[in-house]
Structure 1
């Protein structure tokens, strides 16, 4: 069996890795496809240092994103309660339902912070009252806020 060759990817290659990844592939695959297409370069000590530097910068960037998400979580939980006004029907039932877009709009109006509506988990809301809503700010950080649904 042939030995493996280590390369650093310049671009994302399906089922192999992302740009900047260190990969081991068969010598023929490297020599005949990856290197001529400009998808990868052979490893050298200088390139390995660049890869390590990129990884460190990426790790620091992700850490900063997490810190920012923690700050936003604290801000949201300090405010605590957001009010959404809905048109009222009979038996305290509201017309329609409260959607994650409604919650995102209220949060943006109050805090001046954009929140991705896809990260908001809203329970079934069909009546007036107070409900807990989870807002995912980061893959590791979620805030729980209270939404008060009132009549218009």
Structure 2
């Protein structure tokens, strides 16, 4: 085993943030900001958020909700943390964060279909938003 003397420096392993939404910014109205962005603008903002996480020592993030599977485009990019991707969260029509694109009919068949689509797209984890009144993300201020 090699030993490296770092003097008075503390070495910390990379941190893991298990619940992020790279598509949402830290502003007053993150949902409104996302809704005004094109996919290209959203991807650029998501890359900035990923780089900020990495600079803060977070080497892995689990993105639990993006729009239209945008996180898949970032998953293996250099200069970003490791990204565990959920894609758009699965929700009911008009339900919590429906505008991200993960709407499923609230039946066994509808949910199975949504999960299959997510798996076929290559997500790493399934996120289901089963609570919250319809449209609550549009009114909520973070």
TM interval, short-chain normalised: under 0.3
Structure with more relative contact order (C-alpha pairs < 8 Å, separation 6 or more): 2
TM-score (ref. length: structure 1): 0.25
**Normalized per residue, which structure has more strand?**
1
Give the structure with higher Rg (CA): 1
TM-score (ref. length: structure 2): 0.27
